[in-house]
Amino acid sequence: MKYNTYLFDFDGTLVDSMPAYIAVMLRILDENNIGYENDIIKIITPLGYLGAAKYYIQQLGIGMTEDKLIETMNQYAYNEYAHNIQAKPNVIETLKKLKEQGADLYVLTASPHSVLDVCLKRLGMFDLFTFIWSCDDFGTTKADPEIYKMAAEKIGKPIEDILFLDDNYNADKTAASVNMKVCGVYDRSSEEYTEEIKRISDHYIYDFSELLDL
């Protein structure tokens, strides 16, 4: 096994949640008659709910407070994460095999614990991870190179010994910029960026079972 320390994204990487996430984020813009570019999801996905709220206010001019935006995001998203969203194919089986081989598994996601924890517990995945972090725990976003350094410090391993897995181009690029090893993950929501992600990643997988061959 080439790697023994894995840092996983959550949405679009471990779970098939991007359609629900996208629906929530665009619903808020549509309800407030706010126009947006085609790459809006690529931009806001690494930011977390707070970062997305700031972007909506500062860049798109939505007339809501940060607190109200975050409350609305959580309200719209909770039911999907608590009841409907499923793990992506072969994720649970692969994580269990990595654990059996002695790997340390961690999560770093833009999603808040309010939806993250309930989803992972329902799917029986929560206890597979040594630590599960939301960007909220670091007070910054996955668009900030420092978050990967802080995660590596908490893990207690050299940053270049950690494999970060994410379906988002911006997150992968930022992690790579601080010498963290990167594995791009295929997701339908980011399919148009597949080649871009491959160019800046050390590895790329279409199915989680491929992790066992790295």
Q: In this predicted structure, which of 25-34, 73-82, 114-123 has the lowest mean pLDDT?
A: 73-82
Is pLDDT at 1 greater than 80 in this prediction? no
pLDDT digits (tens, 9 = 90+) for 134-188: 999 999 999 999 999 999 999 999 999 999 999 999 999 999 999 999 999 999 9
Query: pTM of the prediction?
Result: 0.86
Average pLDDT over residues 69-91: 93
Determine the Cα–Cα distance for residues 146 and 23; give it in Å rounded to an integer: 29
Determine the Cα–Cα distance for residues 44 and 55; give it in Å rounded to an integer: 8
Taking Cα atoms as reference points, which of 118, 116, 127 lies closest to residue 48? 116
- DSSP classification of residue 83: I
Return the number of other C-beta atoms located less than 10 Å from residue 37's C-beta: 9
165 vs 50, residue with greater confidence:
165
Return the number of other C-beta atoms located less than 10 Å from residue 187's C-beta: 22
